[in-house]
Structure 1
Amino acid sequence: MRILFVCTGNTCRSPMAEGMMRKLARERGFDIEVKSAGVSAAKGMSISHHAGAVLKEQGIEDRILSTPLHAELVNWADLILALTEGHKRQMIMSFPDAADKTYTLKEYAENDPVVLVEREELQRLAAEIETDRALGREPEAAALRRLTELVRRMPVYDISDPFGGSREDYNRTAAEIRSALEKLLERLMQEHFGGKASE
């Protein structure tokens, strides 16, 4: 399996996600390839000092250099995980063919059964309302009210941006990423081996 993490400059959040995911998967005996890129990245920049320090503290010494997002990388990935909704939107606008494999990290890792059921209902309702409008029909008021209510209840799936912040800011972001990666690995291992790591 090949996973691509995407943020803005590919010097803070997505490289931390890349390094941590590689290590966590290796520790669990889960064979995946991981890369990261940025929607506005310059090529070949070192990751930020604090991001590097956070990874080093976790025993991660990978040399990760910034990579601008490009079509070859998008095609390479089986799963693209953006660090915020904004990154996800940019991804889908630039690479509409990859929309069905593009999510935010927290959204894909979501494991709360109530949220998952409501998210499915939200997607179904949105599609029905869209169809009604396309056919020139007025969507039902009750459906619109329910859609608004569901949108309000959905969690925010953005990972906070530590750029320009203190080491504590980076620690907080890294903890946020790690928590989402743990859930992500749980989901992937469930799908691939029914919850057990490969021997």
Structure 2
Amino acid sequence: MTRILFVCTGNTCRSPMAESLLRHMASQRGIAVEIRSAGVAAMDGMPMSRHAQTVLHERNMTNESFASRSLEKGTVDWADIILTLTSSHKQHVIHQFEGAADKVFTLKEYVEENNTSNQNEQIHQELHSLMAELQLKLSMGEQPSELEIARVYQLQARMPSLDIQDPYGGNLDQYRLTADEIRTALERVLDKLDQK
């Protein structure tokens, strides 16, 4: 049985919705998983946000016993796969928990096709290399050319966002959109788990 941990900021919106959605969806497809969620800046024992609860109820799901949890080593060690809702959450997990790097992905990154992932990695490497060159130029008192600056903007525009939009503080429609975005990715997570 695969153990999946979802990680967001406060563990009251995105990660509890992902936890509840995946539990429900996996049950419907007969895929055995254990699922938890936690937050990098969560206060233990907080309820799920009202709008997140409403979105789940609209989809005939409930997680009445939910209480937020702060991310800790025991939970990280428990997980086979850690799916974060943003790249910054991923970086936090990698930097705070030694040995987690091989099992932590953003949710969108985890479900990307390898071909797309390789393309994104190439773009990222070129952008990183170009930025290093420009930093060196600037430190030597030289200005980057217009062509170099244009290339940076072009590469940045081609980099897809691996983040799930944070609905915190937003209206119910924003929560619905976030839940739909999560659900789409979770369908692909289950497809991957089904192939194992």
Normalised to the residue count of structure 2, the TM-score between the two structures is 0.81
Other-structure match for 1:138: none
Give runs of ≥4 in structure 1 deviating > 2 Å: 119-126, 148-154
Q: Report SS of the residue matched to 2:62.
A: coil
Other-structure match for 1:176: 181
Task: Calculate the aligned-residue CA RMSD, in Å.
Answer: 2.4
Other-structure match for 1:66: 68
Q: Report SS of the residue matched to 1:81.
A: strand
Shift of 1:125: 7.6
Contact 1:85 1:104 in 2 (8 A): yes
Pairing 1:48-59 to 2, within 5 Å after superposition: 48-59=49-60
Q: How many residue pairs get matched?
A: 175
Q: State the alpha-carbon separation in 2 of the partners of residues 9 and 124 from structure 1.
A: 31
Other-structure match for 2:165: 160
Normalised to the residue count of structure 1, the TM-score between the two structures is 0.79
Other-structure match for 2:39: 38
Other-structure match for 1:139: none
Q: Report SS of the residue matched to 1:34.
A: strand
Other-structure match for 1:80: 82
Q: State the alpha-carbon separation in 2 of the partners of residues 72 and 85 from structure 1.
A: 22
Shift of 1:153: 2.6
Contact 2:124 2:159 in 1 (8 A): no
Shift of 1:59: 1.5
Greater shift in the superposed pair: 55-64 or 93-102: 55-64
Contact 1:83 1:105 in 2 (8 A): yes
Other-structure match for 1:91: 93
Other-structure match for 2:15: 14
Contact 1:3 1:34 in 2 (8 A): yes
Other-structure match for 2:29: 28
Shift of 1:114: 3.9
